[in-house]
Amino acid sequence: MARRPKSAKVRAEVKESRAEKTASYGDLQPAKGKLGIMIPGMGAVATTFVAGVEAVRKGIAKPIGSVTQMGTIRLGKRTEGRSPKIKEFVPLANLDDLVFTGWDIFEDNMFDAATNAGVLDRYLLEQIKPFLQKITPRKAVFDHNYVKLIDGPNVKKGKNKMDLAEQVREDIRQFKKSSGASRLITIWCGSTESFIQPTAVHQSLKALEKAFEQNDENIPPSMVYAYASLKEGVPFANGAPNLTVDVPAMHELSREHEAPICGKDFKTGQTLIKTILAPGFKARMLGLAGWFSTNILGNRDGEVLEDPGSFKTKEESKLSVLEHILQPDLYPDLYGDFTHKVRINYYPPRGDNKEGWDNIDIFGWLGYPMQIKVDFLCRDSILAAPIVLDLVLFLDLAQRTPELRGLGIQEWLSFYFKSPMTAPGLYPEHDLFIQLMKLKNTLRHLRGEELITHLGLEYYD
Ligand SMILES: NC(=O)c1ccc[n+]([C@@H]2O[C@H](COP(=O)([O-])OP(=O)(O)OC[C@H]3O[C@@H](n4cnc5c(N)ncnc54)[C@H](O)[C@@H]3O)[C@@H](O)[C@H]2O)c1
């Protein structure tokens, strides 16, 4: 049945009432006051993120790649024409309200660290130099056994890991006071730590705290920051593949303090492409014989990943993706026997400008083989920085939202991670498009909007 066109007056009224509804954000609390961002690890990703936020605030550049800043969300039926910007639909902190601090084993301020990282050009950095120079690193919690290939002087001393956690808690309280922030978020942008598996000390908060007191070797520095943050009621996101908050004891702490957590390992570069292509092959029921991924990169992250322990942590994170997307158990003829290899080579001349090659052996109708070659000349930190921005804004939203703040793991943020954390026993969703739908449907749900199922039969009634 044809729809009767609405009069201009009715259209204006509908628009106005929607604008009012959007401005009031329904039941969600508005983001009042400053949001303090605390970053363990002030290297390439962290400096590209902070410098980028300041450049956007000054109108020097645009926040490309950030879903919170550029993305829209369709509401209601396709015929309604309602697609507000995400940042207008839910109450996210304004970029002008962000304030920053961080910890690092090196003493460089953010301007020097950004210059060393070599991601952003000198011309851009010079325009925001005074701002970046004011952000100096606090003394880090560091243990050489967990990151073997770097060492630095700016490190805390303490009688055990609980004492170090207390010092980080003091840093957090001090930053909150000095910055005047009303809310805080911690996001780990530190190096990838050596591979460890969950042990008995990670199974309950009680066991974890005892392990902190006893200086147990199963507590890496990232857990010290995470514990300190959660104890202070501060949400924690993990940008590296380290275990950090992905153990039952941290889930417990997160729920107890209503401080949301998410991780692991920012989904940038090669894995981003993998989670775009693999769902496409599966959608068309094309088979996979093998996927060989290799990279050259020359930044400090690449240097750290030369150590077999740190590489193993990264490799586990990168390898899990295809298994989960392709579901070999459901499709043994297509994905029952594929070879998946990932290599990372430290090659200093490339700096942060990584090159990732993928050779993909697929097969089609009657088993005939085909090949796809991808050569992605990417900029790792340019892809990671908007993810950091979105995560801190969404985690802050989660903490202001009664329905989300006590859940612990924020699975709706899987979109941003190579190894999304999930409730125990639940397999992670890796397909980028399902992840995006999950994220947007979560936002619709929070605002009491209809979820979008793409069924669409009603258009043909
Ligand atoms: N760049 C990307 O696209 C990307 C994608 C996914 C994950 N990551 C992960 O994000 C992290 C940061 O990457 P990056 O390229 O900025 O690396 P980077 O080496 O430039 O920066 C890491 C910083 O962390 C510091 N650090 C190490 N241990 C620390 C500790 N215990 N406390 C405080 N500081 C510590 C190092 O001194 C260094 O300055 C790495 O773990 C990396 O694997 C990056």
- Take atom 36 of ligand 1 and give the residue whose Cα is closest: 41
Residue-range domain boundaries for the chain: 11-266+382-446, 269-377
Does the CB atom of residue 142 touch ligand 1 within 6 A?
A: yes
Query: Candidates 42, 45, 144, 147: which one to mutate for ligand 1, based on the most atoms within 8 Å of Cβ?
Result: 45
Q: Which atom of ligand 1 is nearest to the CA of 143?
A: 31
Encode the chain (461 residues) as per-residue pLDDT tens digits. 334 444 555 555 545 544 444 446 777 889 999 999 999 999 999 999 999 999 999 999 999 999 999 999 999 999 999 999 999 999 999 999 999 999 999 999 999 999 999 999 999 999 999 999 999 999 999 999 999 888 999 999 999 999 999 999 999 999 999 999 999 999 999 999 999 999 999 999 999 999 999 999 999 999 999 999 999 999 999 999 999 999 999 999 999 999 999 999 999 989 999 999 999 999 999 999 999 999 998 888 788 888 888 888 878 777 888 989 999 999 999 999 999 999 989 999 988 888 999 999 999 999 999 999 999 999 989 999 999 999 999 999 999 999 999 999 999 999 999 999 999 899 999 999 999 999 999 999 999 999 998 888 888 98
Does the CB atom of residue 268 touch ligand 1 within 6 A?
A: yes
Task: Give Cβ neighbours of residue 372 (< 8 Å, ≥ 6 apart).
Answer: 277, 358, 359, 360, 362
Does the CB atom of residue 281 touch ligand 1 within 6 A?
A: no
Q: Which atom of ligand 1 is nearest to the CA of 266?
A: 6
How crowded is residue 131: how many other Cβ atoms within 10 Å of its Cβ? 18
- Cα Rg of the chain (Å, integer): 23
Q: Which CATH architecture has domain 11-266+382-446?
A: 3-Layer(aba) Sandwich (3.40)
C-alpha 240 to ligand 1 mean position (Å): 7
Nearest by Cα to 45 from 231, 220, 304, 247: 304
C-alpha 201 to ligand 1 mean position (Å): 25
The phi and psi torsions of 367 (rounded to 5 degrees) equal: 85, 15
Does the CB atom of residue 311 touch ligand 1 within 6 A?
A: no
Fold of 269-377: Dihydrodipicolinate Reductase; domain 2 (3.30.360)
C-alpha 4 to ligand 1 mean position (Å): 57
C-alpha 130 to ligand 1 mean position (Å): 23
C-alpha 8 to ligand 1 mean position (Å): 55
C-alpha 242 to ligand 1 mean position (Å): 11
Name the amino acid, one letter, at 191. Answer: S
Cα torsion at 331, 332, 337, 338 (round to 10°)? -10
